[in-house]
Amino acid sequence: MNRAEPLVLGIETSCDETGIGIVRGRTLLANTIASSMDEHARYGGVVPEVAARAHLEALQPAIEKAVADAGVRLVDLDAIAVTSGPGLAGALMVGVGAAKALAISLGLPLYAVNHLVGHIAADIVTPDSEPLEYPTIALLVSGGHTSLLHVRDLTTDVELLGETIDDAAGEAFDKVARILGLPYPGGPQIDRAAVGGDPAAIRFPRGLSRASDLERHRYDFSFSGLKTSVARWIEQREGAGEEIPIADVAASFREAVVDVLVTKALDACAARGVPRLLLGGGVIANRRLREVTLERAAARGVTVRIPPLSLCTDNGAMIAALAAQLIQSGREPSTLAFGADSTLPVTEIQVAEREPVAT
């Protein structure tokens, strides 16, 4: 195996994107994503069984396309990588089953890795970027997760500072969009509705931000109360026969989400003495979140890194990139005895690493 510049194919199926990525060391060669998002629209959220069925359908064509895009041959690969968790169990299993068979068919080592740490690795294969400096704080926000991490070393030392205790931030966007009568997915819809709205019009609550919360939940998030608060505000106005200022509600809701995300992330930077913040996850597509982060981070002397959106949403390239780093740092491949772990902790960067063979 080429450990210096390994050619790795990564398979990601933890939620509703079938992602196949190919990297050579730090160089991105292909990033193929097939999304089942449209199939979930009528349900107002990701339906696990629908996602799992879509992964099975998309897998083979996605692998073929990624290989063609990268201009490589499967026999040239050095390793296969796959997301073991966290994520939707049934969806993860499709990728795990496929990755094992692909690795065996080609006689290649297999690396089973952590999805969240993969999001951090996305930065590494961002074209034309300086190498990521450690330590860094990472804020990962999507429809499936909202996590704040302290990354001292990508392959050995990632600490979970906090995560959502109820809804993920992306889910909150979906649910509030529904309350406002807007379609799924909610993020871009709320953005559109918020145009011209006043983000300070309504002071919606910032979850887990009171002094009494900070002791136990300093870096945790909660968006369920915010969603209820938006619903109640609208019901009261409707009850009084008043018109709903949609733009103001959307802008104020979004501001509450963004505020709490950025405040906690920058608080972590300050408390840990880490002047670097990395963003990841599909919700990073939200322009207001990026704006506020950059503005407030600059004021605090914190450098912000934001990979391009195609590497922020769930993708296989980040999984391949993480495996490439593991290979470069001399780690052994995983055995074949692992499964999908829907609650895999972020401290488990690689699962089922084989015992080194004594020489």
Partner 1 sequence: MILAIDSSLGSSVAVVDPATGDVLGRADSETTRGHAEIIGDLIVRALHDAGADPADITHIAAGMGPGPFTGLRIGIAAARAFAVGRGVPVIPVVSHDAAALERLEAEPERPCLIVTDARRREHAVSAYDGLDDGIPHRVAGPELLPQDADPWSILAEDLTTGRASDDSAGSVRRPATEQTLAISAGAIGRLAARQLAAGRIPDLVEPLYLRAPDAKVPGAVKRVST
Interface residues toward partner 1, by CB under 8 A: 42-44, 47, 49-50, 52-53, 55-57, 59-60, 63-64, 74, 89-90, 92-107, 110, 178-179, 228, 231-232, 235-236, 239, 336-340
Q: How far apart are CA 181 and CA 177, in angstroms?
A: 6
Give the orientation angle of helix 48-70 with respect to helix 89-106, to 10 degrees: 30
Instruction: State in angstroms the smallest separation of the CB of 78 from partner 1.
Output: 14
Report the site for Zn ion in 40-99 (rule: CB under 5 A).
none
Cβ-based nearer residue to Zn ion, 16 or 248: 16
User: Pick from Zn ion, partner 1, none: which does 142 bind, CB < 5 to 8 A by kind?
Assistant: Zn ion
The residue with tokens 């406002």 is: 180
Query: Of the two residues 219 and 253, which places its CB atom closer to partner 1 in the complex?
Result: 253
Sort strands 350-351 and 110-114 into parallel, antiparallel or unpaired.
antiparallel
Q: Which helix or strand (DSSP H or E) is residue 85 part of?
A: strand 79-85
297: left (phi over 0), alpha (psi -120 to 50) or beta: alpha
CB 145, min distance to Zn ion, A: 6
Return the number of the residue (53 or 288) whose C-beta is nearest partner 1. Answer: 53
Nearer to partner 1, 136 or 229 (CB): 229
Q: Residue 149 and residue 128: Cα distance in Å, rounded?
A: 25
In three-state secondary structure terms, 300 is coil
* Distance in angstroms (rounded) separating the CA atoms of residues 279 and 276: 10
- CB closer to partner 1 out of 21 and 280: 21
Q: Which of residues 323-342 bind Zn ion (CB under 5 A)?
A: none
Q: Which amino acid is at 321?
A: A
Q: Which residues pair with 9 in a beta bridge?
A: 22, 80
For residue 50, the minimal CB distance to partner 1 (Å) is 5
Among the candidate windows 59-67, 98-106, 310-318, 326-334, which touches Zn ion by CB under 5 A? 310-318
Q: Is 314 in the site for Zn ion (CB under 5 A)?
A: yes
